[in-house]
Amino acid sequence: MSQYIELFISDCKGKGLSVTYQRLAVFKCLMNCKNHPTAEEIFSHVKIDHPTISLATIYKNLEVLAQNNIISKVTPLHDLARFDIDTGLHHHAVCIKCRNIIDIPNDDFDSLSIPTQISSGFEVKNYKIQFEGICNSCSKLNH
Amino acid sequence: MSQYIELFISDCKGKGLSVTYQRLAVFKCLMNCKNHPTAEEIFSHVKIDHPTISLATIYKNLEVLAQNNIISKVTPLHDLARFDIDTGLHHHAVCIKCRNIIDIPNDDFDSLSIPTQISSGFEVKNYKIQFEGICNSCSKLNH
DNA sequence: GTGGTTGCAAAAAGTTTGCAGGCTC
DNA sequence: GAGCCTGCAAACTTTTTGCAACCAC
């Protein structure tokens, strides 16, 4: 049994999560899938070995594991489509409390020299930095 | 009439898009909303002046305007929740053709010095760079 | 007048919830 | 055995689609 799985099991136990057959299967699938699969993709994979598993179980496990920081969501903050009148290069800061999105102009990050090729042949056309944190209003509310 | 609206109208005409009452209302709303609204939020705003407008029209317009690069989507590439076994600091490169997501380790970008405070008090907890472009396999397929 | 656009309704897609039964520790 | 977890079904949310009537050019 791989060290990752052992770590997963002790992580779960440490956080009071049962190590079920299904939860382990979800984790293993994520461990073997390099492509950051969707819930549906995980479901398809896991069903091969566990034909009776339910999609709802996949969702529940993904949610619980993400909340316990055992896995992460690629798009944690905006599942809802949001639109922007600015089509130029700029970045976004997302408040993890109120979920508002603030524009960040690119000027602040012109020191960032992005290579045109990264990671074995990926040709970069565009990039965006997404900052996460607490906005001004929310940090005032806190105290 | 503001210069932005004039520009919008000539943009539309240049791309063969009709300038309808509804399309203009969607654009104006996006122009006045700083918060990168959702379709539903735009719908609520626009309904005040155009009570008979339909939500489907909002969606159709947002789609058409985004495709013509007149507006942009804040999350253009992954509307579907996707999950990642790696909870540490790293970045993603998304292929705009096959929509696969490749991990980019942070080491490559340690030159990027992110201030802990940006834009009037926003406190940065975390950040991710999202690269968009063409992956190796897709660029091979092209020729 | 032609062709793109609208509004409605229905459908599709993705995700969440409630609950009875089952499993983990 | 207690409490969390599963599977099912139903509900809910967000987005898309088909189509007849309508509007922009």
Which pLDDT tens digit goes with each residue over A43-65? 999 999 999 999 999 999 999 99
**pLDDT category of residue A112 using cuts at 50, 70 and 90:** low
User: Which residues are registered as beta bridge partners of B133?
Assistant: A124, B95
Q: Are A125 and B99 in contact (CB under 8 A)?
A: no
> In one letter, which amino acid is B17?
L
* Chain D bases closer than 7 angstroms to a protein Cβ: 3-10, 14-18, 23-25
Q: Are B58 and B26 in contact (CB under 8 A)?
A: yes
> In one letter, which amino acid is B94?
V
Query: How many Å from the CA of B40 to C1' of D22?
Result: 24
Share of chain A above pLDDT 70, in %: 89
Say yes or no for a CB contact (<8 Å) between B71 and A82. Answer: no
B94 in helix, strand or coil? strand
Confidence at residue A141, expressed as pLDDT on a 0 to 100 scale: 77
Tell me: pLDDT of A100 over 90. no
User: Which residues are registered as beta bridge partners of A122?
Assistant: A118
Q: Are B83 and A74 in contact (CB under 8 A)?
A: yes
Average pLDDT value for chain B:
88
Under DSSP, the state recorded for B116 is: S
Under DSSP, the state recorded for A82 is: B
Which nucleotide, over all strands, has the C1' atom closest to the CA of B20? D24
Say yes or no for a CB contact (<8 Å) between B122 and A133. Answer: yes
Question: Beta-carbon neighbour count of residue B105 at 10 Å?
Answer: 14
Confidence at residue A78, expressed as pLDDT on a 0 to 100 scale: 65
Closest among B124, B129, B33, B116 to A135, alpha carbons compared: B124
**pLDDT category of residue A110 using cuts at 50, 70 and 90:** low
Tell me: pLDDT of B25 over 80. yes
Say yes or no for a CB contact (<8 Å) between B84 and A139. Answer: no
Please tell me the pTM assigned to this model.
0.88
- The better pLDDT of the pair A99, B22 is held by B22
Query: Where is average pLDDT lowest: A67-71, B44-48, B122-126?
Result: B122-126
Query: Cα separation of A26 and B39, whole Å?
Result: 33
Which nucleotide, over all strands, has the C1' atom closest to the CA of B79? C14
Residues 6+ apart with CB under 8 A from A132: A76, A77, A93, A94, A96, B124, B125, B126, B127, B128
Which ranges of chain B would DSSP assign to H, the alpha helix? 3-14, 21-32, 39-49, 55-67, 136-141
Which residues of chain A are within 8 Å of residue B81 when distances are taken between CB atoms?
A: 38-39, 62, 73-75, 79
Say yes or no for a CB contact (<8 Å) between B111 and A109. Answer: no
Mutate to test the interface with A, among B5, B43, B85 (most CBs of A within 10 A): B85
Mutate to test the interface with B, among A30, A33, A36, A96 (most CBs of B within 10 A): A36
Average pLDDT value for chain A:
88
Residue with tokens 């995980």: A42
* Chain C bases closer than 7 angstroms to a protein Cβ: 3-10, 14-18, 23-25
**pLDDT category of residue B26 using cuts at 50, 70 and 90:** very high
Query: Cα separation of B103 and A34, whole Å?
Result: 9
